[in-house]
Structure 1
Amino acid sequence: MRLRPMAAAAPFSRAEEEGPSVSLAPDHRTEWGRQATPRRASRWIGFCFIAPLLAFLALVYVIPFLGVAEWSVTLPKPGIGQYERLATDPLVLSVFLRTFRICAIVTFVSVTAAYAIAYVWVRGTLLQRRLTELCILIPFLISVLTRAFGWLALLSSRGLVNTWLQASGLIDSPLQLARNEFGVVLGMTHVLIPFAAFPLASAMRSVDERVLLAARGLGASRLRIFWRVFLPMTASGLIGAALIVFVFTLGFFVTPAILGGGRSIMVAELVYLRMFQSPDWGLGAAVSVVLVLIVGALMAALFRFARPAMIGGGR
């Protein structure tokens, strides 16, 4: 009776002497390590592919920007005097206020018009979609300079619009349609509507048709479905389109310079004037730095509130 416990205990004592037993269960840590190695390798491969692009961007953007930032605190003498002047000079402040006002107007008009165009592009008939697509894509084949001079030929005192209005007897003297903010807003809106249409169309295509049918089945009118269902579901596209248009508008130079005629100077034109028309490189550099920081903040807001995957309308 005593031999059985001793015999049963013997294997355990030998196992303890030989060391811990090897488990037949899979080692999850080893398996995780094997999975992590290809991931790290793929990350390094991806970084190697993107490294030339990062180096190119640093060469053509970051280094010149640092040089301009250095000018803003060293010309004509070291210090932050140019930034103080930027915050107190009435001329510079008026240019910034005019720029933000024009940007807000252009953004509102462009996004509103682009929303209607994108709606027809996505939900219209086949013929309507094809015509709308042509109207959106054809302007990309025409340069901004050509379009600006085209609007100048239409809106000037002796342009086609004033000539037709005078010939028809509707007006006695030419209307001032160019060389003012109206011409600038009209020309910039014409350029930026296609850029706003793409994110809006992407957001509209991601709307689930079953949700609209369910709202219709519950007795909601078409107008109520649009305001309470369709518009909120495309809100991310609206935010993305508005931020994109606003950022583009801040850097416009050719269209305001031609259609504004020197009477509606915006920030980009002010930088050009300070850099090339007057020896005031320090102030021009300070304005450039502030403009880049504003654009950077807006781009951060774009990626924060309307991520690239959400610009098309998150579900």
Structure 2
Amino acid sequence: MSDEFTDFHLEAGRAANGPYALDVDPQRAGWGYSSLRILDLPPGGHHSFATGDSEWIVLPLSGGCTVVTDTDTDTDTGTDTDGTFELAGRESVFSGVTDFAYVPRDTQVRIASGAGGRFALTGARCERRLPARYGPASAVPVELRGTGNCSRQVNNFGAAGTFACDRLIAVEVLTPGGNWSSYPPHKHDECRPGQESELEEIYYYEIAAAHGKEGVGYQRVTPSGRGRGTDVLAEVRSGDAVLIPDGWHGPSIATPGHAMYYLNVMAGPGETREWLICDHPDHGWIRDTWPDQRVDPRLPLYEAPAGDAR
């Protein structure tokens, strides 16, 4: 496989690289900032990596782990200290909110898991070296967005304004079976102060099984007239990813009976870390119908815990 991907839909396994089941970085994606790695660890397994010029959040998808950084800089004293974070994790992305760990650029990191698990490493090239930190599950805002068959749940663990990063923005979205999310189609591929921010985005999917059968979902991205003319109509399965350097993205469709999870990773060149979007002019009217409908009663699939057992 060449260093740079030639299309935008990465089926499970096609973007594997060394220890990673999925490895997307700026070089392979052909852009400037956003990264995502998916790491599977067996019981007793461990993995070490250098963060390089990027900041990262270690997010358990299933299982728990210990995250150790070689150094962390105390911003008050300017001294370096070791950072160790015990992540309780979760059974699956469909079972609960998880705690997580932020690790800064220019750091050595070791991840170890006694029981094994699957872990997402969400990253972004950045300039500032912020301190390593623990993110408790109880502090993750759980938002219900949309109504009717556009209802979905957003876990804003790494959203702008929720958790401090230099450039990285990351959230989780859960869509009940039969619903549409990432809708109305929207874009964030140009800088328009106060209206739209320029952000590269990665979608990573897991689809809930039902009656012993694997599920599928669907993702649409249409060209906005900017950048690379991203055009995707993909049937997505667990482990797949879609790259969105530009374009109107949405809907993300969960097939009946199969809830859809996706992890969004975003970063861009803007001076301010913010998520500002522009709705597609043909479909933005759908928002006006939401106040007249109820939120899907299946939501929330779960809520953040009241406190952390640490």
When normalised by structure 2's length, the TM-score is 0.20
**Greater radius of gyration (CA):** 1
Which structure carries more helix by proportion? 1
Relative to the length of structure 1, the TM-score reads: 0.20
- The structure where strand makes up a greater share of residues is 2
